[in-house]
Amino acid sequence: MAWLGDKPAGTARVNEVTRRKPLLVGANPAIQLFDSTGACTAYASCWRVDWPPRGTGTAIVLWQPDGLSVHGADQALGAWLADRFVRHFPELGGLPWHPSQPHSHMAHIEVSLADGMHARAGDLAVTVEGVLDRRVFATDTFSLGGIDHSLSLVLGPCESGSITLGGRPLPGMIRLSGTTERPSSAAFVAEAEVWWA
């Protein structure tokens, strides 16, 4: 059953949404780091794909100011995730998008709405911990490349996180915001994630 959002939708809008087809089912935890001026220093989007037309698998897409790398055994899947999804995420809005550099290591991703997420691929490690809240998010108007997609997931903002590459932590820290009742974070787990278009 399609998610119809928080506002009543007209018949044409309902028909448009219900004609959409599943594009991806899985999990997509992420973390974004910032320097003291508020500039993004790194962003890691971690994927566990349980079902898409492109096949199942895992990948980590790592954005840094000087480059983009895709880590995973299935590079075709990783490149599709980077180009189809990550490059259009609002976290990277206005930031330069580079050609991706492939790193063909198996990506191991463990996601828990109770504890957080641990991911590793070669010498890249990504961690988010201390789940602060769990809530459902859903929309029919998530734009990817100017095309509205439907998205639903269970979100768990986290209180801490890090990205380590080659044994060294990448610079920057996460940002926490929101309220005690509804916290937000630049580090989060996302489970039961379904995209359709």
Query: What counts of helices (H) and strands (E) characterise the chain?
Result: 2, 15
pLDDT, one tens digit per residue, over 95-119 is: 999 999 999 999 999 999 999 999 9
pLDDT digits (tens, 9 = 90+) for 9-25: 455 556 678 899 999 99
Checking if the pLDDT of 6 tops 70, the result is no
Q: What is the pLDDT of residues 149-172, one digit of tens each?
A: 999 999 999 999 999 999 999 999
For residue 12, what pLDDT is reported? 55
CA distance 94 to 139: 22
- Beta-strand relationship, 67-71 and 100-103: parallel
> 177 exposed, middle or buried (CB, 10 Å; 0-12, 13-18, 19+)?
exposed
Share of the chain above pLDDT 90, in %: 89
Neighbours of 153 (CB within 10 A): 21
Window from 3-12, 53-62, 82-91, 173-182 with minimum mean pLDDT: 3-12
Q: Is the pLDDT of residue 2 over 60?
A: no
pTM reported for the whole predicted model? 0.91
Read off the amino acid at residue 77. Answer: L
Summarised one tens digit per residue, pLDDT across range 134-147 is 999 999 999 999 99
Count of C-beta atoms within a 10 Å radius of residue 81: 27
Give CA torsion, residues 63, 120, 157, 89, to 10 deg.
Answer: 30
188 class by beta-carbon count within 10 Å (0-12 exposed, 13-18 middle, 19+ buried): buried
Pairing of strands 168-169, 100-103: unpaired
In this prediction, residue 5 carries a pLDDT of: 43
pLDDT score recorded for residue 16: 72
CB 109 within 8 A of CB 117: yes
Model pLDDT for residues 46-74, shown as the tens digit of each residue: 999 999 888 999 999 999 999 999 999 99
Mean pLDDT of the chain: 93
Is the confidence at residue 130, as pLDDT, over 90? yes
DSSP run (H or E) holding 75: helix 75-84
Domain boundaries, the chain: 21-196
CA gap 100, 78 in Å, rounded: 10
* pLDDT for the residue 1: 29
Residue 116 is inside which H or E element, if any? strand 116-121
**Quick one: CA torsion of 57, 152, 148, 17, rounded to 10 degrees?**
110
